[in-house]
Every structure is written in C-alpha cells, then in structure tokens.
Amino acid sequence: MLDITAPFSYEQRDRFTFTESEKNIVKWLENLFKNGSGINVIYGNRGVGKTTLKNYAKHEILADNQVIVIDVPQYIEDTEFYLYILESLIIQIDVKIEKIIKVYTYPSYLGMQLNFDEKIELDQFELCSKLESIKLQMPLSIEGISEKLKKELDIYNFKLNNLKKEIDSLFKTKLWKNRKNDYDNEKIQEKLEKYFEKVLELKKWYEYERYLYSLLELQLVFDATVTSDKKIEQHLSNEREKKLNHDSEIQLGIKSKVVNTSFSSRQSETTLLKSGVNYIGSSTITHNLTFQSKKKKLTNILKDLQEKLNLRINICIDELDKCSTAEINNLINRNKEFFLESGLTTFLIMNLGNGVIFKEKYSDYITSFILCKNLSIYEFLVKSANQEKAIYSDFFNLLNGYCSIQGNNRNLIIKDMTERNYESSESIVFLYLWQSDFFQKLPKDYQEIFSNFFNIMIEHLKLLGELDKTDFKALVSEFKQRYSIASVKLDLLFNKLGTNLYSSNLKRNFYFSDLWRTSYLKLSEKLIFTSYEGVYFDSALENYFNDLVVKSQLLRVKNSKLILNRISNFEIEEKFKSFLELYDITRNDFMNILKEFSGMTNNYTLRKNAREMIRYSNQKTYNGIDDAMTTIDRWRNEIIGVVIFYPTDREKSTLVNGIIYRYNNFGEIICIPYAGYIGLHSHKPYRIKEYKQFLSTKNVKFIEIEDLNQDIFQSAYKKSKQSEEEIIKNICIEYNYLNHWLELIPVDY
C-alpha cells in the first residue's frame, strides 16, 4: 500500500506538484547544495513540507557527480554522528567511482577533441609535447588503490610508451615531408585524443580511490583502542616472520563494514588497523588517538575532497524538533570547527518555534534561514485539486476547507477536511485577522506563528463563545509554552494584539489586492472598471468581508470580553450572492477568477520546458469521459493537451480512446490514457460532444486522430492474449504515437 504521508520520493513523483513559492525554495536549496557554505537553517511548521522540499532539491542535484548530500535522520551522540557521516561518505564516494568507471569504460571522446588542434601535420616536437602532457596526468604512486585500477594504469603506461616509439619511428625511418606519412601522423593524433580523455578519467578514478582509502582507514580506527609500543613492535616482527616463511607478500582487501570495496595493502598494516591501531603513512604509529584528533582527521579529509576534487559535500540534520534551541546551539558550539573549517554546507531542519527563537538568539554562526510556510489559500486551491480532494466550486467551501487543515501540506494529505467542520462565520473571522494591518506588517515567520495562534483562539471562542482578558493572557502563555517561543519581542506583539482586539482597533488591510493585477480573464478585466453606487468591485469586495465581521458583529467586544457570534451559512451565502449580483457576476464566476489567479489555468509554456522523457502515468487508466474531465480539472495547471483516437476492437467495432498529456515538475511529459470498450457510457456520441465542449471551455487544446492503421491493432490482437487496453497502450509506445501525436497538438495559443 502506498504511504501517501511520507515525504517526497522519486517513485511517488506523479502525485506531487509544487507551488511557485515551493519551487523557489527548491531553487534556493539546489543553489546551496552546489555553491553554499556554512550552516543553514530550514524551519517551518510541522507538516509544511521541509523534508519533502529538501528531498526534491537533493534529487535534482544528485545527477551532478560533483555533489554529495548526506542525510542524518536526527542528531545523535557525537561519536555515532561522525561515524554515520564517515560511513555515508564512503558509500557515496564508492557510487561516484562507479560512475567514473562507467565514463572511463564508455567515453564520448567528444568533449576532449576541443583540447587538441585540428589534425594537421605536426612535427616530432609537437607530438612529443602532447604525449608528455598526457603522461604528466598519470598517477605516480599506486599505493592504496584497487587491483582493477592498477591494471588500467599499467595498460595505459604501456600504451603511452608504445606511442612514444611510434612517434620516434615515424620521424626516424621515413622522410617526414613525404605526403604518405600524413595518415600515420593523423592516426597518432587520434590516439593522443583518445588517450588524453582516458587518462583524465583514470586520474579522477585514482584520486577518488585514494580518498576512499583514507576514509576506510579512518573508519577502521575511529573507535580505536590504543596498544603499547612493545605490543606493536612484536606484532610487526611476527608479521615479517610470517611473510618470510611464506616467501611472498599476501594481499588482503580492506573492507568497509558498509561497502564492499577492496584495496590491496600489506597484511601487517591491515591487521594493525583492524586491531585498533591507527596506521599513518608507512612507518608511523600514532598513540593516544583522541576523539578530537579523529574529528580533525575527518575535517581535513573533507576539506581536501572539496578543494582538490571540486566536490561539494552537504550534511542535512533532520528532526531537530526533538531538541531545544539551547541543545542545538550547543551542538554547533561543540562542533563548529568541523562545520565551519571542513568546507561543508550544513543544513539544520527544525520546527517553526525553534527556528524563530534560534534566529533571534543563536544566529552568530548561521549563514541563512530558509522559511517553509504554510500554503496560502490560493496554493491550497491548487494543491487540494492535485491531491484529489474536492475541487471547490464555492468560495465559502474553499475557505472552510482551508481553515479546517490550517493550510498545512500534511493535513491536506491525511486529514478529512470536514473533521473540524469550520462554519463560514468562523472562517471569515480568520480572513479578517489575516487581512488586518497588524498581521500584514509582521515578518513572514511571525505571520506563521500568529496564524497558528488565531486558529487556537477561534477554537476557544467557538467552544466557549467568549474570552476575557485574563483568559486571553492564559491562552497566550499556554501557546508560547507549546511552541517553546519565549521571546520579549513576541511578548510585546501578543500584548499589542490583545490591546487591538479588546479595543476593537484591529485595522484592516486589503486581502484581495493582488487578485486583479495578474488576471487575464475578461471577467476580471471588466470588474476592474465596474462600479455600483460609485464603488468599484475590488473595493466593494474588501468592504463586504470587513462589514461581515464588524457591522454584523461576528467578532465583537462586550463587557471587556471578546465574543464570537455566528451567522448561519445560508444567510452568509445568500448575502454574498446578492452582493455579486450587484456587479452582474455569479459565485461560479468569482471562483473562476480565484482559480485563474491561483494558477489553475493551462500553462502555455510547458512544452518548451519539457525534456525528452515521455511516459505513461504510474496511476491507473481513467475509465470514461467523467474521469477524464476530473483528471483535467485536477491537473489543470499542468495540462498540455488531449488526443482523441478511434482504434477498433477484436470485433472490429470502433472504440473511443484518449490520452491526456500532462507536464510534471521533473520536466517529464506524462501520458494519462483511457482505453475504452463498447457499451461504456462515454461511447455515446453526445458524451464525446460534451467532452469536446468541456475541453474548449477549459481552453485545453485537443486533436482527433482519424487516419489510424487499423490493421496494426488487428494484427496485435491475434499475436497477444492481453487485454485490448494493454495492447492499445503498447502500440502507442511501439509505433511512437505518444511522441508523434504530441507534436500535432496546436501550440499557437
């Protein structure tokens, strides 16, 4: 069963979509993974998607073989912490070596040709000079590397020596100016080009193996028990005697307990390592190896890896919600040399309260703070559709659903939106508090805190009906304790909020002010210039919701108590309907404006951003016109177009089939298929007509394919006992219809 509550994973990419603000955070994280430094804090409410966004950014940059991201699931004791980093680094370095070997084994030769002159008649000096430049790239030492790499180095040393002989022979035995020598000269240059690229990869392979060897050595001694000099000397003597008796050197692989990578080393050295003695170089034994010195060794290796191999290493420590801000600060202070001197980019992932307090009290060593916010109501509209929740056709249903899950990503996925059952009057009070001048002037992270508090305050008012000043202060105190946010600044802000609430002086701001600026619907353009009794629609809309709270006294003060009144949902909805009629629009019209502003409209630039990857969706095939229309509404902001085609079934009756082309956040084009059958409701002609009208209304481009080669389908039916649905899907892939039909969808929007 699919765990839909888990953070993002690549296998689940078809069900994820990201808002513009989330994509901006991903871009920020990608840049930090590649070019960042120091310690960075990622913070936000639990369930907002911090780990999901980090994982998405990580997936995007790991295609770059110069980046490593080590995920520490939670902070552990120092010894285990460093050992975990060491083991993870060994695994990832080993993976990168495999990639280097793959490039080495199957080189392109294309990139390196630019480093060589065009094939012309080069004299002996020029050819030898190029050969020497290649030889300089060859590693001089073969200590601490695998047998496989040693073998490849021997091969290319041999080839380079032979090539030197070929060059000498060309100029020694033949008259150089003879035109017949051009061919030999060209062949030598071709070999130089090939060898140059090969040797560069060998050099990279060698460098990575040497560092991996150092990491493996360090891993073996990380918890080393120190032995005395006499024991070490006796051990060395015994090992030499054994080797003499066997009259040969015994090669033994040093194996990591987490990765099976073998490197040859003398048995005596390896046994010493495994016995807990730190071996350095060829003859020095270090005594009393402290934990601090081990940390220093790891720090130096990490620094070298990044400086000499141009490798970017990132560490992400998650689940810091379980630690206090003082504990996190202590973690940094205990290990600041490691975090700051190793060249690492470190990410600390924590909850909103910890992030805010950490920003105020302990920001000395922090490079940047990255806030992951709850969804806005507009983002919620898109996300709820993408998660197959109800696609709201009414503003109050939208507002109530948003308040019920507090705009939280995790709540959207796992909670029933009717669980808390917010009434329209309560949701409008939320809207009033959000659009207040007090709220709008807060920093973004403080807005997240006070939005959480508004939710708790309204829940309290909903239950008890009223809240006096003493109870308000007690509620604030309980809230601060729950979120661990002891701060003088926050105390002053809560005092200011209380003063404004109990003096009915919570001035309003304009919540919908941006709604009309980027809208291209003819309806919204019309409304900008439409007035009733001298008031334009946008101002009237703001006044309408403010008046609901103030004049209808949804939230009022009586006898120094804050009181929440209720108006029935029916009364509120009827008043809103009457208000809209004054401007000659319907509630559905208003929702269409919201949907367009939210981004739920076809993105006409999707196709030019798509990569070559095109595939069927991992989701089930949809089962008719109704499912197709629901799918298009669900992914409205990612739909490229629709193809309708008419293959025959085994009885040669015509079927109605379709493919919805969707663009996902990974640059892939996803094909969501429908393979029909006779008797299905959607085969009725009026349903096809209805479907086409729906596509036109939604401004979704579509084409009909009528020149299918029906013999292809009949032939496939005879060869296979698969269902017609599967056969039709396979034919679309085999005959490249998926790509071909995509090109036929109109692009002249």
Give all domains of the chain, ordered by start, each with its CATH number: 10-103+311-372 (3.40.50), 121-193+216-289 (no CATH), 377-598 (no CATH), 606-744 (no CATH)
Digit-coded pLDDT (tens) for 685-694: 788 889 999 9
Question: Contact, 732 vs 634, CB < 8 A?
Answer: no
Q: What pLDDT does residue 268 have?
A: 36
Spans in the chain with pLDDT lower than 70: 1-8, 107-122, 173-182, 223-289, 416-420, 517-521, 602-612, 620-621, 675-682, 748-749
Q: Which residues contact 434 (CB under 8 A, 6 or more apart)?
A: 451, 454, 511
pLDDT given for residue 266 in this prediction: 31
Specify the pairing of strand 466-468 against strand 561-564.
Answer: antiparallel
> What is the pairing mode between strands 614-616 and 639-645?
unpaired
- DSSP for 398-420? HHHHHHHHTT-HHHHHHS-TTSS
Separation in Å, CA 301 to CA 278, 293, 339: 16, 12, 13
Strands (E), 565-685: 614-616, 639-645, 657-663, 669-674
Taking the CA atoms of the chain, what radius of gyration do you get in angstroms? 34
Q: What is the pLDDT of residue 374?
A: 94
Q: Are strands 38-44 and 366-372 parallel, antiparallel or unpaired?
A: parallel
CB 53 within 8 A of CB 25: yes
- Whole-number percent of the chain with pLDDT over 90: 33
How far, in Å, are 201, 225, 304, 383 from residue 456 at the CA level? 60, 55, 51, 24
How far apart CA 727 and CA 675 sit, in angstroms, is 10
Q: Give the pLDDT of residue 279.
A: 35
- The 8-class DSSP code of residue 436 comes to B
Cβ proximity of 371 and 40 under 8 Å: no
The whole-model pTM stands at 0.82
Give the 3-state secondary structure percentages of the chain, helix then strand then coil, rounded to 5.
55, 10, 30
pLDDT for the residue numbered 518: 61
Instruction: Check residue 473 and give its pLDDT.
Output: 95
Distance CA(279)–CA(269), nearest Å, equals 7
User: The dihedral of CA 537, 541, 547, 548: what is its sign?
Assistant: positive
Q: Convert the pLDDT of each residue in 236-253 to its tens digit.
A: 445 444 444 444 333 333
- Alpha carbon separation from 306 to 37, 66, 310, 343 (Å, rounded): 12, 9, 5, 7
CA distances from 56 to 165, 172, 666 (A): 53, 61, 10
List of residues 6+ apart from 189 with CB closer than 8 A: 116, 117, 119, 122, 127
Q: How many CA atoms lie within 13 A of 656 on its CB side?
A: 19
